[in-house]
Amino acid sequence: MTSETSQQLIVSINEQQLGLFQGQQCLQTWSISTSMYGVGNQENSGMTPLGKHYIRAKIGAEKPLNAVFVGRRFTGEIYSSELAEQHPNRDWILTRILWLCGLEPGVNRLGQVDSMRRYIYIHGTPDSEPMGKPLSHGCVRMRNNDIIALFDRVHVGTQVTIQQAEFV
């Protein structure tokens, strides 16, 4: 097994933390925000899905800090408080996207529980949004500088486990 394949991310819902692990060693943790609706894998629930996933795609490399994405496409906009006032109901997806795909059929893959079809991401969010509190619409939100740091350290195929429990 290569060192690259033993790299993994663990999201702790209870701690509102994301950890980057190499084998059993935690290399770094970041404060995050998961769903305000709790955990669940059902389509249209707005909940953060539990279980084993992997990074299916990395989107936004080389885009500027606070780049705005809609439908995984850079809009050409850069997030600002003025832009936020113009679009008060937008769920801001900023800077980078790590698109997750479930690994467990019937739990987070296929049918009405498919994380990829639900567009579950790890992504940047406005710096004005609090971290450490569940406030997202299902995704895992991170600070913009944090998502860049994470994005640059992981690869497509990296395993991501989303669990309620604390890091072990």
Provide the pLDDT for residue 1.
Answer: 35
Provide the pLDDT for residue 162.
Answer: 98
* CATH topology classification for 33-155: L,D-transpeptidase catalytic domain-like (2.40.440)
Question: For residue range 1-50, what is the model confidence (pLDDT) as tens digits?
Answer: 344 558 999 999 999 999 999 999 999 999 999 999 999 999 999 999 99
Provide the pLDDT for residue 6.
Answer: 85
CB proximity list for 78: less than 8 A, separation 6 or greater: 64, 65, 66, 67, 68
Asked whether the beta carbons of 63 and 78 are under 8 A apart, the reply is no
Question: For residue range 57-114, what is the model confidence (pLDDT) as tens digits?
Answer: 999 999 999 999 999 999 999 999 999 999 998 999 999 999 999 999 999 999 999 9
